[in-house]
A and B are shown apart, each in its own frame.
Chain A
Amino acid sequence: MERGAIVAEVRKAFGERITEVDEAALEPFVRCEASTWPDLARFLKERCGLDMLVCLSGIDRGKGVGLEAVYNLERCDASRVGIAVKIRVPYEAAVIPSVETVWRTADWHEREAWDLLGIRFEGHHNLVRILCAEDWEGHPLRKDYKSPDRYHGIKNNVV
Chain B
Amino acid sequence: MNMDSGTLVEWVLGSDAGFWWRLAGVATAWALPITLWVSLVGLISIWLERKISAHIQCRLGPMEVGPHGALQTIADGVKLLAKEDLIPEGADRMLFALAPILAFAGTFVSFAVIPFGPDLIISDLDTGLYFLAAIGSLEAIGVIAAGWASNNKWALFGSVRAATQVVSYEIPLGLAFVTVAAVAGTLSMTEMVEQQSGMFWNWYMFRNPFMPIAFILYYIASLAECKRAPFDLPEAESELVSGFHTEYSGMRFAIFFLAEYAAMYVVSALAVVLFLGGWYTGIAPLDQALSASPLWGNVVGALVIITKSFVLIFVQMWLRWTLPRIRLDQMMHLCLKVMVPIGMFVLVLAALWQALLPYEGAVANHKPLFPAVGSIAGLAIFVLLTVGAWIWVRNTIRATTSFKSANYRI
State if A and B touch, Cβ cutoff 8 Å: no
